[in-house]
A and B are shown apart, each in its own frame.
Chain A
Amino acid sequence: MPQQMSVAEEIFQFVREPIDARAIVENLKAPEDGAVVVFDGFVRNNFKGQRTLYLEYEAYEAMAFAKMREIGAYMREHFSIHRVAMVHRLGRLEIGETSVLIAVSSAHRAAAFDACRYAIDALKRGVPIWKKEYFADGAVWVEGEKPSQQAISAPSSSTL
């Protein structure tokens, strides 16, 4: 008898190995859904025009994991979605490798698009993760925004 594959309704994860985007997305598809929207963020080959060799991500993992779960809860509350996967890689990444994958399934596309857009914006502004870019002649910690709870709980994004 074939084994029934267990399917997670929600995945929040930090990983140190390559992210298998295809497997995550396939696993997210439920028969009753009609759409999956995926955001696949990968390592760019330059930083403000300077050639990047590789980069490193680090996180305040305990807090970051809790904040990702809060983003998931907000998505369920505000968008008519079904499954959510949010996976972020840490450690050293090479050019072109996926650093973050967010996938949202839904019966209809609009909710999935809106929820996915909210999720990546909230992650970038509200989850304690940092990246360091390495160049031939040095390295720099990339400074995004001052992190805030508001980015997660009261987003001002144009999608809402």
Chain B
Amino acid sequence: MLVRVLFFGQLKEIVGASQEEAELSEGARLEDLFERYGRRFPKLAEFRESIAASLNREYADWRAPLASGDEVAFLPPVSGG
């Protein structure tokens, strides 16, 4: 299955892209996707505790299962206002 992955702020700079398509096997969860990026970008993995994940524009649990066509985003600490 194919999901869209969005990166913002520092994470965007670490990955070097604001979005990517990721091919995952059936049954993959949000945390699996993040782990995969963490292996590609070790600096990204360091953020694990301070970031939130979203699934289709809603805050989501790391154990949330993914489906084809999902939009995932990794959200570093926010600083709006």
* Residues in chain A within 8 A of chain B (CB atoms): 41, 57-60, 62-64, 66, 88, 99-100, 120, 123-132, 141-149
Contact check, B59 vs A129: say whether CB atoms are below 8 A apart. no
> Bound complex: CA of A127 vs CA of B76, how far in Å?
11
Q: 23 A-B residue contacts at CB 8 Å? A: A59-B80, A60-B6, A60-B73, A60-B75, A63-B57, A88-B81, A99-B80, A123-B81, A126-B78, A127-B78, A128-B73, A129-B80, A131-B80, A141-B9, A141-B13, A141-B76, A142-B79, A144-B79, A145-B77, A147-B59, A147-B78, A148-B52, A148-B59
The yes or no answer to B50 lying at the interface (CB within 8 A) is yes
Bound form: Cα–Cα A128–B60 in Å: 13
Cβ-Cβ contact count across A and B, 8 Å cutoff: 84
Q: Is the CB of A141 within 8 A of B10?
A: yes
Measured CA separation A145–B40 after assembly (Å): 25
Question: Chain A binding site: helix, strand, loop or mixed by DSSP?
Answer: mixed
A127 partner residues in chain B, CB cutoff 8 A: 78, 80
Assembly CA distance A131 to B76 (angstroms): 11
Q: Which of A124, A126, A128, A131 has the most CB of B within 10 A?
A: A128
Total interface residues on B, using CB and 8 Å?
20
Distance from A37 Cβ to chain B, minimum over Cβ atoms (Å): 16
B51: CB under 8 A from chain A?
yes
**Contacts A58-B8, A146-B50, A147-B52; A128 near B78 (Cβ below 8 A):** yes
Quick one: closest B residue to A149, CB to CB?
A: B59
Question: B1-37 toward A: CB 8 Å interface, digit per residue (1/0)?
Answer: 0000010111001000000000000000000000000
| Complex partner residue of B80 from A124, A141, A148, CB under 8 angstroms | A124
14 further contact pairs, Cβ within 8 A, besides A66-B57, A129-B80: A60-B54, A60-B73, A63-B73, A127-B80, A128-B75, A129-B78, A130-B9, A130-B78, A130-B80, A144-B78, A145-B77, A146-B51, A148-B52, A148-B59
- A100 and B73 in contact (CB under 8 A), knowing A62-B57, A63-B57, A66-B57? no
